[in-house]
């Protein structure tokens, strides 16, 4: 089973289950952002959470095997070569669909404003290596029907 087939199978089972990503992640024991990203093919899972996800969604072992396969974190984008900016593109490339899924569940169909928006960049000291903390805060803008 390919990662694309895996994602399609998981998304269909998720829809049938009526469960959201947070509820699924609580049952599996992983964070919702990471688990969603793995289900969308951008990360892999260890055997235990992969099997647990399949149990929660009623999926077979071929899905678990595909979840455990290493991802090819590739997307069709032209990105800058500056290492810091490239890493931000990589974050969006790897987690963008995950962010869209979770924002959709929490707010509905819409976007985050980049006009009514703020961003903070902080440093978190950590004995394992200092951390960059980027907080983006944008107004939710629902799509309008007419």
Q: Is the dihedral of CA 106, 107, 112, 116 positive or negative?
A: negative
Give the active site residue among 87, 97, 105, 125: 87
DSSP 125: -
Instruction: Check if 87 is active-site.
Output: yes
Nearest to 14 by CA among 28, 134, 111, 109: 28
Look at phi and psi of residue 118 and say left if phi exceeds 0, alpha if psi is from -120 to 50, else beta: beta
Choice among 8, 55, 113, 131 that is catalytic: 113
Catalytic residue among 90, 118, 124, 125: 90
> Using an 8 Å Cβ cutoff, are 42 and 98 in contact?
yes
Residue with tokens 């049938």: 16
25 is catalytic: no
Is 131 annotated as catalytic?
no
Task: Give the orientation angle of helix 32-39 with respect to helix 3-17, to 10 degrees.
Answer: 120
**Active site (catalytic) residues:** 87, 90, 113
């Amino acid at each position: 089973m390919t990662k694309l087939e895996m994602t399609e199978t998981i998304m269909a089972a998720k829809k049938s289950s009526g469960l959201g990503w947070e509820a699924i992640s609580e049952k599996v024991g992983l964070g919702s952002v990471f688990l969603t990203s793995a289900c969308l093919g951008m990360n892999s899972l260890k055997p235990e959470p992969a099997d647990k996800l399949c149990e929660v969604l009623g999926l077979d072992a071929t899905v678990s095997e595909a979840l455990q396969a290493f991802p090819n974190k590739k997307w069709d984008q032209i990105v800058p070569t500056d290492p810091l900016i490239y890493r931000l593109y990589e974050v969006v490339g790897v987690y963008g669909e995950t962010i869209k899924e979770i924002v959709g569940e929490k707010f509905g169909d819409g976007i985050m404003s980049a006009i009514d928006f703020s961003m903070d960049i902080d440093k978190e000291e950590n004995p394992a290596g200092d951390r960059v903390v980027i907080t983006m805060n944008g107004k939710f803008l629902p799509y309008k029907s007419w």
